[in-house]
Amino acid sequence: MKILHLCPLWFPVSHDSRGGIETLLAQLAPALTRLGCESTLIASGDSRTASQVISAVPRALCDEMEIGKAAEYAWYEQRQLQLALRHAPGFDLIHSHIGPSGYALSAVPGLRNRVLHTVHSPVLADLQWFVSEHRDYRYSTVSEYQARKIREAGATSCRAIHNGIDFERFTFRPHSGDGLLFIGRMEAVKGPDIAARVASKLGRPLTLAGPIVEHEFFQRCVVPLLDDQITYAGVVDHRQKNELFGRAACAILPFRGEEPFGLVAIEAMACGTPVVSLAVGALPEIIETGVTGHLSDNESEDDIAALVDRAIGLDRASIRARAAARFNISLTAAQYAQLYSEIAADAMQHADSSPVTP
Which CATH superfamily hosts domain 2-165+328-350?
Glycogen Phosphorylase B; (3.40.50.2000)
- Strand, helix or coil for residue 55: strand
Task: Report the topology of domain 168-326.
Answer: Rossmann fold (3.40.50)
| Cα→Cα distances 251→3, 130, 239, Å | 36, 36, 17
User: What pLDDT, in 10s, does the model give residues 177-190?
Assistant: 999 999 999 999 99
What value does the mean pLDDT take over residues 34-54?
A: 95
Of residues 184, 168, 183, 172, the one with CA closest to residue 328: 168
- Strand, helix or coil for residue 40: strand
Of residues 122, 114, 75, the one with CA closest to residue 95: 114
Percent above pLDDT 70 for the chain: 98
Please report which confidence band the pLDDT of residue 347 belongs to, taking 50, 70 and 90 as the band edges: confident
Cβ atoms of residues 1 and 49 within 8 Å? no
- How far is 336 from 37, CA to CA, in rounded Å? 10
What value does the mean pLDDT take over residues 183-202?
A: 97
Q: What is the pLDDT of residue 352?
A: 57
Q: Which helix (H) or strand (E) holds 118?
A: strand 115-119
Q: Which helix (H) or strand (E) holds 158?
A: strand 158-160
Q: What is the dihedral of CA 172, 177, 181, 183, to 10 degrees?
A: -40
| Position 224 pLDDT exceeds 80 | yes
Residues 6+ apart with CB under 8 A from 31: 164, 166, 329, 330, 332, 333
| DSSP codes of every residue in 300-317 | -HHHHHHHHHHHHTS-HH
Q: What is the pLDDT of residue 356?
A: 39
| Position 354 pLDDT exceeds 80 | no
Determine which of 140-144, 172-176, 218-222, 321-325 has the lowest per-residue pLDDT on average.
172-176
Q: What is the SS3 assignment for 173-207?
A: CCCCCCCEEEECCECHHHCHHHHHHHHHHHCCCEE
CA 224 from chain center: how many Å? 30
CA 331 from chain center: how many Å? 16
Of residues 264, 251, 269, the one with CA closest to residue 207: 251
Instruction: Give φ, ψ of 125 to 5 degrees.
Output: -60, -35
Of residues 32, 266, 270, the one with CA closest to residue 169: 270
pTM: 0.92
Q: What is the pLDDT of residue 357?
A: 42
Q: What is the pLDDT of residue 355?
A: 42
Domain boundary assignment for the chain: 2-165+328-350, 168-326
Please report which confidence band the pLDDT of residue 348 belongs to, taking 50, 70 and 90 as the band edges: confident
Question: Do 2-165+328-350 and 168-326 agree at the fold level?
Answer: yes
Q: What is the pLDDT of residue 278?
A: 97
What value does the mean pLDDT take over residues 254-258?
A: 92
Please report which confidence band the pLDDT of residue 19 belongs to, taking 50, 70 and 90 as the band edges: confident
User: What pLDDT, in 10s, does the model give residues 56-114?
Assistant: 999 999 999 999 999 999 999 999 999 999 999 999 999 999 999 999 999 998 898 99
- How far is 318 from 310, CA to CA, in rounded Å? 15
- How far is 77 from 146, CA to CA, in rounded Å? 25
Q: What is the pLDDT of residue 292?
A: 98
